[in-house]
Amino acid sequence: MSLGLDFSIVVIIALNVLISFKGFNDFSFFEKYKFNVGAVKAGQQYRNITSGFLHADMPHLLFNMVTLYFFAPFLVQQLDSYKFILVYVVSLLMGSLLSFGIHKENNYYSAIGASGAVTGVIYAAVTMFPEMKLYMFFAIPIKGWIFGILYLAYSIYGMKKSVGNIGHAAHFGGAMGGYALALILKPEILSQNLFYTILIGLPILALFILMKLKKI
């Protein structure tokens, strides 16, 4: 995987850094642009996007940007700069929309961070190359398709049990965006890796069933 940074990646990382630092030092700015269910209901739809460029603190920002640094060049190489940006933005928006859908009865629910968009980038890569090697906890080697299934299974558990101060719904929504865009932009995946594509999509189907049954 090449670590060369395309200009599109530099722009996205720069926007995350600049907007996050502004939010670190300006509480009113942070409050105005974070995702909040009540505010979105009131018509402030821009929060679905702007919240993805805010972070809680430096570790939060650093983790997301380092992860993006490693995975984004791969996506640019397989697609192109414009399609990479499309995957990033759609995944970010899908994360916000699923968060709204899951938490729409809680007007006080808020969220920030690029995790949904970054998860979408990772999931698009895993969908295109399911046997790519990843490292859980930076040490344990695991195939991409296994990582994808385990990650979304944990996200479902996190949504059901409200585990930690983590936007599990945003992560899952982002993954859905990455999965869908990978199939749309590289439809040959279906003929090349049909079995893995179905496996990777099973947690998404499971979430829809659980939502239909009102289990989440």
Mind listing the domains of the chain with CATH numbers? 7-212 (1.20.1540.10)
Residue 196's closest CA among 131, 123, 124? 131
Q: pLDDT band for position 138 (50/70/90)? A: low
Burial 142-162 (b: 16+ CB within 10 A, else e): ebbbbbbbebbebbbebbeee
> Which single residue is written with the structure tokens 């996200």?
155
pLDDT at 2 over 60: no
3-state secondary structure at position 178: helix
When comparing pLDDT for 137 and 48, which is higher?
48
Altogether, the residues listed in the chain come to a count of: 216
Is the pTM here over 0.85, yes or no? yes
Cα 196 from Cα 131, distance rounded (Å): 9
pLDDT at 1 over 70: no
Residue 164's pLDDT is what? 62
Mean pLDDT value across the chain: 91
Residue 206's closest CA among 147, 167, 163, 160? 160
When comparing pLDDT for 4 and 109, which is higher?
109
Q: What percent of the chain has pLDDT over 70?
A: 96
Cα 116 from Cα 113, distance rounded (Å): 8
3-state secondary structure at position 140: strand
Q: What percent of the chain has pLDDT over 90?
A: 74
Give the helix/strand (H/E) hosting 110. strand 110-111
Backbone angles phi, psi at 210, to 5 degrees: -65, -40
Average pLDDT over residues 1-24: 87
Residue 154's pLDDT is what? 87
